């Protein structure tokens, strides 16, 4: 252990990494790869669980009126339905990405 967390384990062609959130080792494929070629210190499962706690805010929360109007103009031009609590913009976006690229 050189750093703050246990070293990665390389055995029999497998690469495992320690997750700092769940305190367990997982296959390296369970971690997101960063732009610099390294991997995150938290597994995908924990990352998704953490992200569910983040509440998206809506256009009504944008303080600057000019920014809000510009965002509304762009989102409407892209075909998004605005101000519908049953169909929020972030869910519309996620469905588009899923349709185009598959499950993320």
61: which DSSP letter? G
The pLDDT of residue 10 is 95
Domain that holds residue 89: 56-101
CATH number at residue 24: 3.30.60
pLDDT above 80 (res 61): no
Average pLDDT over residues 26-40: 92
Q: Locate tokens 């959130």: which residue?
A: 21
**Shared-domain flag, residues 46 and 60:** no
**Could you count the other beta carbons within 10 Å of the beta carbon of residue 87?**
12
The pLDDT of residue 57 is 67
The mean pLDDT value of the chain amounts to 87
pLDDT above 80 (res 87): yes
The pLDDT of residue 54 is 59
Q: Is 3 contained in some domain?
A: no
Task: Give the E-state strand segments of 3-96 in sequence order.
Answer: 9-11, 14-18, 25-27, 31-33, 39-43
């Amino acid at each position: 252990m050189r750093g703050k967390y246990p070293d990665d384990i390389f055995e029999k062609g497998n690469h495992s990494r320690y997750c700092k959130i769940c305190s367990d080792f997982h296959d390296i494929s369970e971690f997101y790869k960063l732009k610099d070629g390294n991997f995150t210190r938290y597994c995908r499962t924990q990352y998704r669980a953490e992200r569910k706690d983040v509440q998206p805010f809506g256009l009504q929360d944008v303080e600057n009126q000019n920014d809000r109007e510009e965002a509304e103009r762009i989102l409407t031009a892209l075909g998004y339905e605005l101000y519908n609590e049953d169909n929020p913009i972030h869910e519309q976006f996620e469905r588009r990405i899923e349709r185009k690229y598959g499950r993320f």
